[in-house]
Structure 1
């Protein structure tokens, strides 16, 4: 598989430690957590495996060069001096993604343009022709990150964001990002050792991600393509072997994963998405109003859901969140219930005291992942009464 090299996995705010644990469990070395990223080392095969298996990574990039830079001319000159023939050919297409946090460079699009010019000019001077830019479907995607006076040049091994798993073809008004859903499930301690319920399942993202975690199915097994498959050094037999080995590590799941939604359209979409992920045998979706349901098992139940925030749906938040608390208290003893909301004011209407509150972001919305432990019998009344 070759020697090890450094990689960087990008993630969402608050998921750095979870991602670091995933990388460690997968076999990565020299793991260092940053802000919205985790760096690590591995070989080419591990890069393939990281893209295939990591649930909380958005991108896996491979640094290829770094240098100090203070001016546009210096940026152009140092990019031009690189041996781009190692990564590109004249008949391949490429695109540049730039992130800039520097007093010397103010516009990421302008940085991308200068880098593109340097690469194109280098090929034109050495080969007499040049590769073309394709911003939508490039053969090679180059990542430029300038922080203060330092520039990192990397290859994007993932391509489209890794939250685009490939199974979700139908969504509702406010679908939750697949990486976010998986991270919240891991944060909640979901390990597939009991029954699971999403009582407001929408298009079924929590259900599908929960089933993949429970069965140890690689997160991105349903994706059609990764960017590294277009690289000059792509080792297809190695990748096929890694897919085979990872699939051989899946496990059976002997509990229930159930989703409720009162909208027929949501039930259809969630059912379709579970089928797209080949998980219909593990997931049951029913048309039900959560507020009119009771716990379906006498055993422990793990519940994770994404209730409406009031951002896109017009609801009486006091009544709605009050009903969440009443339903949990009256109908779901022996349940560990987690949900995410950006409506922090509405949380007080639940009428229960959360045992945990974790700051996360849902897209641009600052949110909280809250946990309510619903005890059996007298403990429920003793510990869950609001202040």
Structure 2
């Protein structure tokens, strides 16, 4: 018997193909890319697995009802007529998240209020009492999405955004989002097949995500809770089986993952977060100024980092980005270097031509993920050796 149902995974701009690929590898059916989202099909166990394992998903929602809607009375009536007893009981709490893009509705908070009224009125009619609303820690989070004249009602199976992995307790100024970090690593082609360096590691997010990719560790294994664990139909035994099977698919990593930062406080925070993620066997963090370092490993090196943008620190951007280019050219042969920046003007001062530029967003900032390939010796020498 096929118990599959439709789900939607939300993601960041530009990560839709990455997320679709992840879903297919996990075994999802009918995977279809949308805008900042990917829809797919699977059963309850797959919903648990998607929340546990996906690196580039922000939320996994489960659509339960959809209908055309043109006014608030129609919205109230459709919500009221749903079988809410399947999902809620009097001793469970709920919250409503609404997003609205419609000529008929202009305020998402008003839509949330109307949906809440319909649900509690239904319980008062059938049970003589109503469940409580808990905005911060609800047992059930309901997602309402109105686009033009169509409304989708979904259950949020994740709860807090899936970028909140659970390992990062210490952060620096403007730390990079964990989902963004994982996506950038995957865009860079990182697969754990060589040594890795983040020369400006901050609180260690790239390092931790790189190690989890290299070892195939489930992205959210350190999370304390998912929203589906509070659902009426939660299957604890099935979830524990999903965790056990996912952990059996981890693999050994035989290379090095190294982080540098010149701030002692950043080094301590990175080490704390790495310890929280149980990855100290794989990652080494040192207090070093990247501009005074040189490549320490033989063979290919994969480098990914997030330099200051000028918004976070008071720096001479021209000099800073020129130093990045000089250090890469002079001290890091055999390196594939990637970094993200929203300071597109500063890229001109690197003094190297990027072999790739990928448009991404870091929060609200339009940014570029750029790639520089540092050859062993010069390109000309390499060409002459081949003649």
TM-score of the superposition, structure 1-length normalised? 0.98
Map 1:126-137 → 2, pairs under 5 A: 126-137=126-137
Contact 1:329/1:380, CA 8 A, preserved across alignment = no
Q: Aligned pair 1:160/2:199, yes or no?
A: no
Rounded to whole Å, the distance in 2 between the matches of 1:101 and 1:314 is 39
Listed as ranges, the matches of 1:224-263 within 5 Å are 224-263=224-263
Structure 1 CA distance, aligned partners of 2:338 and 2:250? 26
* Matched residue SS, 2:252: coil
Q: Partner residue of 1:350?
A: 350
Q: Which residue of 1 aligns with 2:148?
A: 148
In structure 2, C-alpha distance between the alignment counterparts of 1:81 and 1:317, rounded to whole Å:
59
Residue 59 of structure 2 corresponds to 59
Residue-pair matches, total: 383
**Superposed displacement of residue 300, structure 1:** 0.1
Match in the other structure for 1:76: 76
1:335-381: CA deviation from partner (whole Å, max 9, x where unpaired):
00000000000000100000000000000000000000011112179
**What are the residue-to-residue correspondences of 1:103-142 with 2, within 5 Å?**
103-142=103-142
Contact 1:95 1:134 in 2 (8 A): yes
Structure-to-structure mapping, 1:1-387, within 5 angstroms: 3-379=3-379
Q: Distance in 2 between matches of 1:187 and 1:43?
A: 29
Deviation at 1:382, TM superposition (A): 9.1
Q: Hey, what's the Cα distance between the residues in 2 that align with 1:76 and 1:382?
A: 70
Shift of 1:174: 1.5
For structure 2, the residue ranges without an aligned partner over 5 or more in a row are none
Secondary structure of 1:202's counterpart equals: coil
SS in 2 for 1:100: strand
CA deviations on 1:98-125 (whole Å, 9 max, x unpaired) are: 0101000011111000000000110011
Q: Name the TM-score, length of structure 2 as normaliser.
A: 0.98
Contact 1:93 1:132 in 2 (8 A): yes
SS of the residue aligned with 1:340?
strand
Q: Which runs of 5+ in 1 are unaligned?
A: none
